[in-house]
Amino acid sequence: MSAINYSKWDNLEISDDSDIECHPNVDKRSMIRWKQEQIHRERDARRTKIAALKHEAETLKRQLDRIEKSTQQAELEKKYKDTVQELERLEAVENKKLTSDKLVTGFDKTAVSKAVPSPKETPKAPKKSTQKSKEKVIETLNPGSAGGVPAKAGSSKQTTTADDSDDSDDDVEVTEVALEFSRIKGFDASLAFISKHPYLGTQKYSDEIMAQAFKAQMEGDETYANNCVHQALVLQYCSQLGKDGVGLFFHRIRDPAHGALKIFQNDWKDTYTRIKDRCKVLAQERAANASPGVETIQLQAAEPGTQIHITGPPADADPKVHEIFAALPEDFQEAIQSGSLEKVNKSLEGMSVQLAEEVVRVCNQVGFLSIEGDIIDTTQGETIAGREAELAAAAAAAAEAEAESSKTTDEEP
């Protein structure tokens, strides 16, 4: 086995700080500085002399070319040779050691990581103004309403939207990439996703996911809401830690000795608790504000001992009765066939006041609603006996029909 050849390091000029030995009364740092100054001074003087000798050698060579052979030429040739020899000697001394002044760039390579562009945001559509509607329940039975058999409706339910007072007109639009990140669980998967989408580490996307957490909690999806809070806080911490916040955050989270994980978990728990409590308050406010609002009609007997019999048309009934029953809204037909007053009132609750009055009047006339005892007519503010109610309904219908007939006669020329 051959010995290691260290000769390639012979020409390398290294720091000789540790090799300098001086008198104990002399400061070693000062001695080192003086030694360095001496080396640099000798190096500069040598380079200056090399440059002067090169210039002198060129001058002598030009003179030799111009003059003829003579005694003067011999002297110049001797001087020229001496100059060249001295120049070669100084250059050999200069090139003996490799110093920092002789370092040159062998190769240069630059790698630039292109930033992933942020997805273009689609323009937000103008928000439709939503009018707050209130629902007011009036328990009434008005058999005297005019009109014919209501037209058949596929569904008589009308949807009313109630906006909470805390909801702002400018709702946060959640982007697709924010939604995808909100469903990720765990720090490792989050780091991998942020590495592919570095633009996520901003407060904008953190706010979007936090709004999604609020929405999910209002809809009752607590697991997803809790995870949204976790992911929103991850982005929030990364954005607040500066330019290298992503790497710094995940490094501290994974360091058990740092304590960042405990701080993050406490913040996560407190933030979700605040959102949960706030959503509970909003749900209670919405429930409290749900009763006042749109007027509806509900059937209720005047006395606890009385009943409202609800029966559908028998199979052997008049075809016209079946025709009238088929013209009623489908959900009201199901309520009549069930014989439940609660289902009938629930179906009436989804109708407008005019449609509900008309349906009740028609059902009372054909016998789908048979009333025993007294009922409450809150429209007119009085109590009507069961049989009197039916008579009142018939009389009111006849009076309105007569009024319509007279009105038509007056309009004829």
- Lowest mean per-residue pLDDT among 155-169, 197-211, 273-287: 155-169
8-17, 166-175, 214-223, range with the lowest pLDDT: 166-175
What is the three-state SS of the chain?
Answer: CCCCCCHHHCCECCCCHHHCCCCCCCCHHHHHHHHHHHHHHHHHHHHHHHHHHHHHHHHHHHHHHHCCCCHHHHHHHHHHHHHHHHHHHHHHHHCCCECHHHCCCCCCCCCCCCCCCCCCCCCCCCCCCCCCCCCEEEECCCCCCCCCCCCCCCCCCCCCCCCCCCCCCCCCCCCHHHHHHHCCCCHHHHHHHHHHCHHHCCHHHHHHHHHHHHHHHHCCCHHHHHHHHHHHHHHHHHHHCCCCHHHHHHHHHHCCCCCHHHHHHHHHHHHHHHHHHHHHHHHHHHHHHHCCCCEEEECCECCCCCCEEECCCCCCCCHHHHHHHHHCCHHHHHHHHHCCHHHHHHHHHCCCHHHHHHHHHHHHHHCCEEECCEEEECCCCEEEEHHHHHHHHHHHHHHHHHHHHHHHHHHCC
Rounded average pLDDT over 339-346: 83
Determine the pLDDT at residue 78. 83
pLDDT value at position 275? 92
pLDDT in tens, 201-224: 888 898 999 999 999 998 888 899
What's the mean per-residue pLDDT of the chain?
74
Q: What is the pLDDT of residues 359-382, one digit of tens each?
A: 888 888 878 777 654 444 444 444
Higher pLDDT, 19 or 142: 19
Percentage of the chain exceeding pLDDT 70: 67
Name the phi and psi angles at 310, rounded to 5: -120, 115
Amino acid code (one letter) for 358? E
Among 7-16, 86-95, 254-263, 346-355, whose mean pLDDT is lowest?
Answer: 7-16
Q: Which amino acid is at 28?
A: K
In this prediction, residue 14 carries a pLDDT of 63
- d(CA 235, CA 206) in angstroms, rounded, equals 5
> What is the separation, in whole angstroms, between the first and last Cα of the chain?
134
Q: For the chain, which residues make up each domain, given as ranges?
A: 24-100, 173-290, 295-411
Query: What's the pLDDT at 122?
Result: 47
CB–CB of 314/377 below 8 Å? no
CATH number of 173-290: 1.20.58.610
Q: Is 143:396 a contact under the CB 8 Å cutoff?
A: yes
Residue 268 has pLDDT above 60, yes or no: yes
Residue scoring higher pLDDT (115 or 148): 115
Question: Is the CB of residue 380 less than 8 Å from the CB of residue 140?
Answer: no
